[in-house]
Structures are given as structure tokens and as C-alpha cells.
């Protein structure tokens, strides 16, 4: 189905839903999914609206202009419209660890991901074969602490050149610099191998073992300038016990990591996520 | 907050959301929660709409009439409007088993349940003390296989007299007759101590033990004429192992039962459930 | 069944299980449950051993002495033997919040707890009625920041007088002083209304809301001198979303808290927990 | 570590654990894992015992003979000893659906599976490439309803020839004949795309949608002559709602299926499963 999706937020007042759904209906659109939320503390209104464009009297090119006129009626409205086609283009940044990449590629091949796997970029070459098996171009851009600045320039140029919409860090072991993060604000998803905010930083499974926790988890979040502090999209946990050695925690962690990351990527690609400050609204 | 909640369904077409939210806004209501779903197979539209009545130009008495006029514009629209006050009145039917009743009463006392615990009816007198501790009237109407017909007439008269809106079967060990079920269609919630449709019927935990399952569950559903086949509202499971004797399964089952039942009752009281044929839509 | 339970740990070597099970068999005991674990990092051996005393040639009084002789063969063995009767005696310390106490009392009444609910001590009087309903003595010992030292002396005297074996802090809102903690090392269980180590400290649900997490949890742990840092027994989580206000988080938290606390108390009463440093082994 | 694992069961009596652990210690073995269970209903004793062979005075060849002598002391003892090396050899039977196979191969590559992926057999050729990517031999033996008998003879010959220890049906869409099942009793694991015993048979996700359930699941079990009725090893569930179309249920089901199957295969390969009648004991 050929659809448009509106994500928007503004100061709450009476009549917002009526005005926006009227706007859709007026031009022949048929609402197929609507979800909204009003944050009682901040008095902010948020909405996700999906409609069928089959009988739309407005062309795709004209839709944003028309929406802009409607949006002016509301205080402080932020909005974006996207279309079901073409599919958003995804690049995956990887190092040597394969489980998250393999999972994303497999899910994509099975049709679970409403996006195009357009590119895998590795700072090591280890995962080139895996990408090739699934028919996805692989670019090897060596990145170390020493050449990071130069490498990121190359990465960013490549992402632009390939028309990428979303960058997924699938156990990418480098911290991205501020220019990279700024250019891609709200469009980089990272998987943190921990149940944030516990065990921030390195070796979370060793930390978990040392603390004797009975659950471990993983967190998918948007990347912001502050390391591991960006808006959380999804989280998952699994039970552990004293029998689990650190390697068992790592194995169990891999399972959670790839599920949580895949879920976050799909939610983003389905345009179900609105970022509000350092939190997200996820319309499921 | 003083609110109205509309639950409605009709054949899908363009403009339904716009018309209904316009109706709300026109009379000074402010939408605070809206959730909708279109069933692609049956082309049915479903919506839950909650709005603030603070500035409403329509009195409560006039609202249904005005809504009736709007509803006529849509094909086959079923709708109901309810208000945040007075709270719906709940009666709990019990036998001798206390865990579900105790849980409901405790949650009510803690303010988790947007309803009034108005009555407990026991076919045995065992739980009178428990009801009394929580300040809820208890009626003892002995019901056995032999006097069931007469007992149900008494029960139904009492429920009507006390202005009950919802009947909860909290491990009530009698099967309700068709007249009772018909009078209360869509307003009786039962907890089935099994993960339906597995282990329908008696002694599910013995069945589960015999089959060697690794998970057991519970199902809350509306009661219909066909035993244990009514629309499912919520389900839960918990893990079990070969170490669990039947009594352990029963203990673990109790935990799931009371959680699942309490969740179903709250969802109903918050008017989040629409029944469609033998299924439910639960707007969470 | 009349049983003995041995919990022990020592430096690992060959033949420990054989020696201890031989000891049991030699005197006519029949092993009905055995679980062991060797920590590969520290080379420590841990075991839980339960045996039927029906045909035991040793009296209860003689058993510890005989075991002491066996234990000497092993390096650094720590051990304790307990018996299935009499049941361990439990005291619950509370303030004003009732859900954890109510849950424990209810479970006890349903026969889920292999202990005797011997005493409830409140620093406020609010929960006296609840304890009374379940037939458990309630002692009101007002404790505030100012009189804490004196109040703890009273509490400890009362616990001793009543022959208490386990102290449960069921949302008790005072921090226990070091003398109290030292006297009851390994025998005080607290429920922390958070998924430790995240959100240590006050108002975890407000912290969780501010951070926008998608899961919240609770942690039951033994109380040690360092606040909220004691060995973890059990943990649980539940999903949350942007729709959950702080009061919803608190409500969902209550559900997790009482389940997690009850599970930890039962595990302790069944003598399934061995504390090793700041971690626990839980033989389930 | 070079280890032996004993799985055994017999009629319960006093002294079994002592005798068996003494047997291990006597010949220089060191117990590193022991788990046992006594079924109170049937009075059957079950044990899993793992020991370090480093200092073993008995050769691998002599161990079974020595164990046989010990076993005779106990009534009706069934036992098997296996060694940590060589790794058990696994064959995976597939049709066209790839997610379970891909998951097993990926986990094997990551070192999660203590077995050797020795062979993939497809009744279609679709998954040959996938097997090749992971370096596992692929055999294409076309099997349809018409040639099933002949095809199974070929499959069985090939499995024997390759020294296979475990057969995994990874969404293999043919029902195995009784000769195949008999030859491989207790050594064929199937994944059933449903939470058994609910929705036995074809199209479980369509059945689940029609019934309006709120949870779906998957079950891994040993294959027996009676279809879908064999001993259950593991089960998993995930939540669903009215928003999930059949294709969403299938997608969510795939996630559960591959997790549950992989877990069952790992448990079997780690020799943690004892089959007792139509149930399993899983020593985790």
C-alpha cells in the first residue's frame, strides 16, 4: 500500500487531531493508523498518523507544502512526512563481531525490515564475506584511534554518496566524533550491551558477574554527543545465575543484543519513534 | 479529570477520525487519548477516544444524543460513551479460593482499580472475613448443582439491585447458566487457570504435569455461552521444570492467575477493550 | 517429610560429594535433593544437600557433631545444617506501605511460605489492622531519625525475645544502623524498588521516568553495611512506555516488588541461598 | 577440559549418590557438576554427573565396563556415559525455510554449540548456499509424499555414513516415517511452531489469529511415532495483540522458534536432557 506517515509534536490544545485528520480526509486520504499521546507534565502533544495515498488529490511533492500551512496554526509544531516508498536506506557500521550484523541481514532477507540494506562499513575487513553472502556492498575503511578523524570523513562521504537514511552501529567498537554525531542526529542507532543505566562503560558482563546480578540486558538507543546517554528506544533482559560464567553472560547477552537492536531498527524504519528531549515515544 | 470515553466500530471509510474528533472539538472537548485500528481482513474500523469535558458545551445528558446523530453518517456504527465518574461498580463472585479476591481487594485499596468494589458474592461463606477486612459487603448465596437455577435468580436480582456494572469470576467454581450469561454479555470476566486453548477443562495443572510442559499460564476472558471459549483479554505465562510438583504448578499458577485477572479487570474498567466477534481489541 | 539441609562451601578438590553423601548414607539418610557448583575462578566448591531423616541413625543433636568431624577433612569448609521443623520464624519490618506485607501474609496463609509469620514491627501503626486480619502479632515501635538508636535497641530485643530467624524489610523506610545489620548478617532481606545497580537511591521511578527507560525492575538483596549494595537474591522487570506516568511506574513497580520479595523470602526459607562474598548462589 | 558425563536413572533408594560419586573419586575423577532429582510420584531417581578426567586412573575404554558393575547394584538402572571429545556430530534436515538453519549455523560459528555441524540435508536445494557460506556440507535428497520411503532410506544411510549423533528438524516440512523415528529415538529434535499442546497441526498462526490469543509460542521436542506429541525440551512465548496480522505472528513466531530450537539443541549437546516416558528432565 502506498502510504504517508506524519510524525509531529506541538503544544497541546483542543482540536489538533481534528485539524490534522481533516487535512488528510480533505485531500482524499484514508487514515489507516493513528496514535497520539499528550505528555501531562510538559503539555506537549505527539502524534503518528499514517494514511493511504491511493485516492489522494495531492501529489507527494505538494503534500509537505500543504502540511506546512496546517502546521502554522499550532504552537511550536515540529513535523515530518515520509512515504512508504522508496524504502529508507540503511548502512551498518561494524568491527569484527558478527552476530548483530548477521541477524540484521538475515531478517532483512526474510522481509522483516522495511528498509534497504544498502551498505556495510567495517573498520576491519572480517565481515566482508558475510555481507557478500547476503548481497550487500561492503566498504572497508580502517579506523583506529590515530586516524579516526580522517576515517570518519571518508565514512561520512560514503554515507552521503550512497544516500543513506539510517546508520546502525552493530557492535561498532569506535566512539563516533561529534561532527559525525551532529550530522546524523536522531539517525544513528547503537546497541549497548547492557541494561542502561546500569554498567555504563566497558566490559559490562564482567561488571555484571562481579556484582552477582540475576538479570542482564541490552539497550538500543540513539547516539548523542554524550556517550551511552542518548534516548532509549528498546531494552531487553534475560535471566542469569551463579552458574553462568562470563562467557555464558556474553552468549546470553548476544541473544538479547541482536533482538533488541533488530527491534529498534524496525521501529525506526516503520517511523514509530519520536525523540523528545532525551526520551523517545515509541508508537507500537 | 472529568472525561468521556467513546468506544466505537464501523465499516471503514475515509474521514471517520476527522468526523469524530471534529465532533469532540466542536463542543469544546479536548482529546487526551485516541487509539484506533483498522482490521484489514474485515475492513472494520475501531476506535477508542477519550476527551476532557472541562470546557464541554454539551451536558452529559446531551452528549449521547449528539453522538447518535454523528454515528448515523457511518455504516454499521456501534458505539458507547462512558464517563470517568461515577466509577463503574464491580461485583466479585467467589467460592472458597481466596488469592484472586484478595489481590483485587488489595489493588483496589491501593488505588489501582478505577472502579468501586461494591459487592462480593460467595456460594460459600469462607471469604466473608476477607471482604469485611477490606470493607466490602459480602453476600452468601449458597449455590450447588441442585439449586443453581434458583441461586442464579437471587444473584442476578442482587447484582441489579446494587447497580453492578461488571461481574468478575474470581475462581468461582460454578458454570453460569445461559440466562445469567445473556443478561451480562460482555460484562463478565473469568480467569481460566490455563494458557487457553491448551488444557481446556478441569485440573489443568495435572494435565500440564502429565504432558511435561515447560511453561504454564493463565487466561482472562469474557464469559460466553460456550465454556472457556469467550474472547480473550489477557494471558500470562511462567516457566516450570521437572522439579515442580503439581502443588508447585498450582502455586505458580496462582501468581499468574491473579496478575492476569487484575490486569484484565483494570483494562475493562479503563474501557480499553472492544469485543469483536470472538476476539478483543485491547487499546493499551 | 522430616529432612535436614546442609549448606556448605570449601576449597574444591576431588571426593567432596562422595564424602558428604557417604556421610549421609552411612547413617541411614536418603538424599532427596543435591545441587552443587564449583566456581572456576576461585576454585570454591558449594553444595546444598537435603536428606530424609526417617531412618537416620543419628539424632538431630548428634548430627552437627558428626558433620563437624567430616568437615575437618576439607580445606576451609563453612557449613550449616538446618531442619525442616520447627519452621523458621519470620519478622517483617514495615512503615506505611502495605503491598509487600499484604502479599507476604497472603502467601503465608495460602501455605506458600515454609516459615512462620511470627511478628510484624511497624515504625508507624498504619498496618496493625492488616497484620491482625491475618492473625500475626503487630508491634508498634516508633522510629524516626531522632530516636533511631533507641528504637533499634527495642526492635532487636523484641526480635531476640520472639526467637526470630529472618528479618524482612517490606518497604521499611528507615536505614538500619550498623549494630542491627551486624547482629543479623545474612538474615535481613530488603526489597529495593529498582533494578540494581541502576537508580540506586531515592525516587527510582522518577529517575526512570526522566531517563526514559523501557523496563523497570526490583531487586531483593541481603542487607549489608553498605546501603543497597548487599548480595542480590532475585530480580524482576516489567515493560513500561512513554504512556506510563510516574504513578503508573509506581503501580507496576509494586507488582514486581512484591513478587521479587516473596520469591527471595521463599528461597531463603527453603535454604536455597548461599552467600559468597558479595554474591549469592541460589540453588533452584 | 576433558570430561565424562553420566546420565542415569533408577528406582530410588538410599546411597545412590554416594556410590556413584565414590566410583568417580575412587578412580581419580573430580566431580565438576552434579544435579539430581527424585520423582516423588514414581520413586525414580535421576542424575547428571560430570567429572574431570585429568587424573583418571581408568581409560575411556574401561570406564563403561567399570560403571556397568556399579550400575548392577541398583534396581532398574539405565545409564549412558559420554565424553567431551570428540564433539557430537549434528545433521540438520531442512526444506525451504531458512531462519532456524541460519540461526544454528551462526551460533555454531560463534562457538555457542558444543557439537560439530556435520551435515545439512535438504529435500529442496534452496538452502545449499547458506550451508556453503558456513562451510557445512549440503546434501540434496528430494523427498515428496510419493518417494518418501526411498528418500528416507537414502537419508538414513547418509546419516549413518557421516557418523551423525543428533538429527535436528529445522522447519523440515515432511513427517518422518516410523523406521526413521525408531532408528533415531531420543536423537531427533523438532521445532513446532506453536505453544504445544495448543494449536497442534497446520497453520498454527492462522489458528492463533482466529482465536485472538495474546501470546504465541514455540515448542522444541523429541520426535516420537505420535506426531507433535514427543517429550518437550523447551518452550518460549512472546506477546501479540490485535494489531498483529498473520504475517506479524509468523515473524514473531520465527524469533521464538529459532531461540527455542537453538536452546533445545544446546541442552541436548551438553547432555542435560533425560527422557523419562513422555517427559524430559532438563538439568540446567
Contacts of A among chains (3+ CB pairs under 8 A): B, C, D
Which grid cell sits at A214?
Answer: 540475576
Q: Is A57 in CB contact (< 8 Å) with chain B?
A: no
Residues D77 and D153 in one domain: no
Cβ distance of B98 and C106 shorter than 8 Å: yes
Check residue D159 and give its pLDDT: 98
Report chain D residues whose CB lies below 8 A from the CB of B243.
Answer: 37
Cβ distance of A36 and B36 shorter than 8 Å: no
Check residue D235 and give its pLDDT: 95
Cβ distance of B102 and C106 shorter than 8 Å: yes
| C-alpha B207, offset from chain centre | 27
A280, A274 contact by CB (below 8 A): yes
* Boundary of a domain, candidates D83, D103, D134: D83
Q: How far apart are CA A179 and CA A159, in angstroms?
A: 14
The predicted-structure confidence for C115-143, as pLDDT tens digits, reads as follows 999 999 999 999 999 999 999 999 999 98
DSSP letter at B22 equals H
C225, A205 contact by CB (below 8 A): no
For the residues C275-279, what does the mean pLDDT come to? 94
C252 pLDDT more than 90:
yes
Q: How far apart are CA B142 and CA B140, in angstroms?
A: 6
Residues B170 and B196 in one domain: yes
For testing the chain C interface, which of B107, B246, B260, B263 should be mutated: the one with the most C CBs within 10 Å? Answer: B107
Check residue C40 and give its pLDDT: 85
Determine the structural domain holding residue C39 and report its residue range. Answer: 3-83
Check residue A204 and give its pLDDT: 85
Check residue A73 and give its pLDDT: 94
| H-only helix segments in C140-242 | 148-161, 178-183, 204-211
- The rounded mean pLDDT for chain C is 94
Check residue A70 and give its pLDDT: 95
For testing the chain A interface, which of D110, D240, D282 should be mutated: the one with the most A CBs within 10 Å? Answer: D110
Q: Tell me the β-bridge partners of D282.
A: D273
Q: Phi and psi for B95 in degrees, rounded to 5?
A: -115, -105
Cβ distance of A14 and B21 shorter than 8 Å: no
- Model confidence at C201, pLDDT cuts 50, 70, 90, reads confident
Residues C177 and C201 in one domain: yes
- Could you tell me the CATH number of the domain that includes residue D199? 3.40.50.170
Cβ distance of B30 and A13 shorter than 8 Å: yes
Cβ distance of C14 and D36 shorter than 8 Å: no
Q: Is the dihedral of CA D161, D163, D165, D171 positive or negative?
A: negative
* Boundary of a domain, candidates D83, D104, D122: D83
Cβ distance of B214 and D198 shorter than 8 Å: no
Q: Is C220 in CB contact (< 8 Å) with chain A?
A: no
The predicted-structure confidence for D71-89, as pLDDT tens digits, reads as follows 999 999 999 999 999 999 9
Please give the share of chain C, as a percent, with pLDDT higher than 70: 100
Choose among B146, C199, D122: nearest CA to A199.
C199
Residues B169 and B244 in one domain: yes
Give pTM, 2 decimals.
0.94
Q: How far apart are CA A273 and CA A5, in angstroms?
A: 12
Q: Give the burial string for B168-204 (b: 16+ CB within 10 Å, else e).
A: bbbbbebebeeebbeebebbbbbbbbbbbbbbeeeeb
Q: How far apart are CA C159 and CA C166, in angstroms?
A: 9
For testing the chain D interface, which of B212, B219, B231 should be mutated: the one with the most D CBs within 10 Å? Answer: B212
Report chain A residues whose CB lies below 8 A from the CB of B28.
Answer: 14
User: Which class for C145: exposed (0-12), middle (13-18), buried (19 or more C-beta within 10 A)?
Assistant: exposed
Which grid cell sits at D103?
Answer: 540461526
Residues C214 and C181 in one domain: yes
Q: Phi and psi for A280 in degrees, rounded to 5?
A: -125, 155
Name every residue whose Cβ is closer than 8 Å to that of residue D169 and which is 6 or more positions away in sequence: D93, D176, D188, D189, D190, D191, D223
Q: Whats the size of chain D, residue-wise?
A: 284
N-terminal to C-terminal alpha carbon distance within chain A:
19
Residue of B99, B106, B133 lying closest to C110 (CB–CB): B99
Q: Is A157 in CB contact (< 8 Å) with chain B?
A: no
Residues D79 and D139 in one domain: no
Å from D212 to nearest chain B CA? 5
* 10-residue stretch averages of pLDDT, chain B, 284 residues long: 95 93 92 91 94 92 94 95 96 97 95 96 97 97 90 98 98 94 97 80 85 93 91 95 92 94 98 96 94
Residues C146 and C238 in one domain: yes
Residues B44 and B168 in one domain: no
Which grid cell sits at A48?
Answer: 503518528
Q: How far apart are CA D24 and CA D51, in angstroms?
A: 7
C-beta atoms surrounding B60 within 10 Å: 13
Report chain B residues whose CB lies below 8 A from the CB of A12.
Answer: 30
* Strand C116-122, strand C188-192: pairing: unpaired
Check residue A40 and give its pLDDT: 85
Helix (H) or strand (E) holding A257: helix A246-269
Residues D238 and D252 in one domain: yes
How much is the ipTM here?
Answer: 0.91
Residue A204 three-state SS: helix
The C residues from 246 to 275 touching B (CB cutoff 8 Å) are 251, 254-255, 259
Q: How far apart are CA C105 and CA B93, in angstroms?
A: 23
Check residue A227 and give its pLDDT: 81
- Could you tell me the CATH number of the domain that includes residue B45? 3.30.70.260
Look at chain C and report how many structural domains it folds into.
2
Residues C25 and C132 in one domain: no
Report chain C residues whose CB lies below 8 A from the CB of A237.
Answer: 215, 217, 237
Q: Phi and psi for A63 in degrees, rounded to 5?
A: -60, -50
Q: How far apart are CA A201 and CA D49, in angstroms?
A: 39
Å from C113 to nearest chain B CA? 11
* Boundary of a domain, candidates D58, D83, D108: D83
Residues D273 and D164 in one domain: yes
* 10-residue stretch averages of pLDDT, chain A, 284 residues long: 95 93 92 91 94 92 94 95 96 97 95 96 97 97 90 98 98 94 97 81 85 93 91 95 92 94 98 96 94
- The rounded mean pLDDT for chain B is 94
The pLDDT tens digits along chain D (284 residues) read 899 999 999 999 989 999 999 999 999 999 989 999 999 889 999 999 999 999 989 999 999 999 999 999 999 999 999 999 999 999 999 999 999 999 999 999 999 999 999 999 999 999 999 999 999 999 999 988 889 999 999 999 999 999 999 999 999 999 999 999 999 999 999 999 887 777 777 788 888 888 899 999 999 999 999 888 899 999 999 999 999 999 999 999 999 999 999 999 999 999 999 999 999 999 98
Cβ distance of C214 and A278 shorter than 8 Å: no
Residues A261 and A225 in one domain: yes
Whose grid coordinates read 454515528? B71
Torsion of CA A51, A53, A56, A62, to 10 degrees: 90
Q: In this predicted model, which residue has the larger pLDDT, A204 or C94?
A: C94
Å from D123 to nearest chain A CA? 20
Name every residue whose Cβ is closer than 8 Å to that of residue C247 and which is 6 or more positions away in sequence: none
Check residue C283 and give its pLDDT: 95
Residue of A17, A25, A32 lying closest to B38 (CB–CB): A32
Check residue C228 and give its pLDDT: 85
Cβ distance of D213 and B231 shorter than 8 Å: no
Q: For the CA atoms of chain C, what is the radius of gyration?
A: 20
User: Which class for C247: exposed (0-12), middle (13-18), buried (19 or more C-beta within 10 A)?
Assistant: exposed
Amino acid at each position: 500500500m502506498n502510504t504517508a506517515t506524519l510524525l509531529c509534536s506541538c503544544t497541546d490544545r483542543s482540536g489538533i487531531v481534528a485539524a490534522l485528520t481533516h487535512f488528510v480526509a480533505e485531500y482524499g486520504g484514508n487514515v489507516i493508523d493513528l496514535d497520539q499521546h499528550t505528555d501531562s507534565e510538559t503539555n506537549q502533544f505527539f502524534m503518528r498518523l499514517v494514511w493511504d495515498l491511493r485516492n489522494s488529490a495531492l501529489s507527494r511533492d505538494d503534500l509537505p507544502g500543504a502540511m506546512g500551512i496546517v502546521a502554522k496554526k499550532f504552537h511550536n509544531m515540529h513535523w515530518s512526512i515520509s512515504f512508504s516508498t522508496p524504502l529508507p536506506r540503511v548502512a551498518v557500521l561494524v568491527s569484527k563481531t558478527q552476530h548483530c550484523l548477521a541477524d540484521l541481514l538475515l531478517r532483512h532477507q526474510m522481509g522483516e525490515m522495511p528498509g534497504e540494506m544498502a551498505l556495510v562499513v567495517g573498520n576491519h575487513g572480517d565481515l566482508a564475506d558475510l555481507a557478500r553472502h547476503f548481497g550487500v556492498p561492503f566498504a572497508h575503511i580502517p579506523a583506529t584511534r590515530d586516524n579516526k578523524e580522517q576515517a570518519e570523513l571518508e565514512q561520512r562521504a560514503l554515507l552521503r554518496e550512497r544516500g543513506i537514511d539510517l546508520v546502525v552501529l552493530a557492535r561498532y567498537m569506535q566512539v563516533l566524533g561529534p561532527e559525525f554525531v551532529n550530522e546524523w542526529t536522531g539517525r544513528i542507532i547503537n546497541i549497548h550491551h547492557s541494561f542502561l543505566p546500569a554498567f555504563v562503560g566497558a566490559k559490562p558482563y564482567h561488571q555484571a558477574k562481579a556484582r552477582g546480578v540475576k538479570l542482564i540486558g541490552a539497550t538500543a538507543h540513539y547516539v548523542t554527543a554524550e556517550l551511552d546517554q542518548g534516548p532509549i528506544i528498546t531494552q531487553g533482559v534475560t535471566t542469569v545465575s551463579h552458574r553462568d560464567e562470563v562467557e555464558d553472560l556474553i552468549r546470553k547477552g548476544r541473544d538479547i543484543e541482536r533482538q533488541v537492536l533488530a527491534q529498534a531498527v524496525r521501529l525506526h524504519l516503520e517511523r514509530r519513534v519520536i525523540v523528545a528531549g532525551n526520551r523517545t515515544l515509541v508508537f507500537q
